[in-house]
Amino acid sequence: MSKTKNKTDDASVFIVGAGPGDPGLLTLKAAACLKKADVVVYDRLVSDDILAMVPDSAEKIFAGKAARDHFMPQDEINQTLVDLARLDKIVVRLKGGDPFIFGRGSEEAMFLAEHDINFEIVPGITASAGCGAYAGIPLTHRGLVTGVRFVTGHCRDGQHLDLNWKSMADPNTTLVIYMGLINIQKISDELIKAGLPADTPAAGIERGTTPDRRTIITTLDKLPACIERAELKAPSLLIIGKVVELSDTIAWHTHAHECLMEEDGVATDA
C-alpha cells in the first residue's frame, strides 16, 4: 500500500479489536464497523453476543485458532482478506482483545499493505486490561510496581519456550502471560529459578469479563497445581506480581477464589 493511498475513509478492510468478551466493552468505532460490514472474518475468542451485532446481510467467516489447533492457517486468513477486498467488499477482521497484542493483527496489516489494500486498525480493550479490571487486579499500582510486561507463554510447534527469564523475574514488574496454560509448570519453575520469589502473588483468569469467568488467586510456586485442580481452560490469562494481592480489596465484579495448598492437595475456597 503506497503512502498516498493510506486513507482510512477509503479503507476496505478494518482490523478490529472486539475486546475481551463482555459486549459492553466493544468500542463505538468497532460497533460502527460491524454495522457497515459486508463480510466479517472472526476469531474463536469473539463472543456470541458480539457476533449477534453483525447485520444479517453480512457474511460471517470463522477463522478461529487455538493453541496447536488452527481452523484456518494464518497465511490462508491473510489471502482471504485480500481476496475479499478485491471483490469490493467491506471486510471486518474481528479479533478478540486488541489486534496488536498477541493478535497477529500486524502480520495481517503488513500482508494487506504488500498487496495495496487500504485498511484501518481499530484498537480494542486488551484481554489483560479487561480481565484484570474485572478481577480487581490493577496492572500497575503506585508503590507496588513500576511497570507491566506482556509475554506469550505459547511457543511455535516443535520449539521450546525460550524466554529471557532473568529479565522477567523482576518483583517490581507485573507479568501478564497470554496462552500460558500449556507451559505453566515451566513458567513457574523458570521464574523461581531466575530469582522471582516463590510466594509472589499470582492469578489465573478464565474467560475474563464474561458470565463464565473464573479467577483463582495463589502464589507463583502453587500456580500450576491450582490451575490443574481448578481445571482452568483456555482462554485464560495469568497475572503474576504484587498487584494480585489487591484483588481481595478491590474486586468489584466477582470475588476470586483463593487456592490453598493442603497436605492432600489443593483446595479452592471462596
What local confidence, expressed as pLDDT, does residue 258 receive?
74
Domain residue spans of the chain? 3-125, 128-269
What local confidence, expressed as pLDDT, does residue 270 receive?
34
Annotation: CATH topology of 3-125: Cobalt-precorrin-4 Transmethylase; domain 1 (3.40.1010)
- pLDDT tens for 125-140 read 999 999 999 999 999 9
Neighbouring CB atoms inside 10 A of 227's CB total 25
- pLDDT tens for 78-116 read 999 999 999 999 999 999 999 999 999 999 999 999 999
- pLDDT tens for 175-199 read 999 999 999 999 999 999 999 999 9
Which residue type is seen at 105? G
- pTM as predicted: 0.88
Cis peptide before 235 (omega within 30 of 0): yes
Query: Does the annotation mark 10 as catalytic?
Result: no
Query: Does the annotation mark 95 as catalytic?
Result: no
What local confidence, expressed as pLDDT, does residue 259 receive?
76
Which entry of 22, 43, 170, 221 is annotated as an active-site residue?
43
What local confidence, expressed as pLDDT, does residue 54 receive?
97
> What CATH superfamily is the domain 128-269?
Tetrapyrrole methylase, C-terminal domain (3.30.950.10)
Which entry of 60, 65, 186, 242 is annotated as an active-site residue?
65
pLDDT tier at 67 (50, 70, 90 boundaries)?
A: low
What local confidence, expressed as pLDDT, does residue 231 receive?
96
For the range 247-254, what are the long-range contacts, defined as Cβ-Cβ under 8 Å and sequence gap of 24 or more? 247/135, 247/136, 247/137, 247/203, 247/215, 247/217, 248/136, 248/217, 249/136, 250/136, 250/138, 251/135, 251/136, 252/136, 253/134, 253/135, 253/136, 254/134, 254/213, 254/215
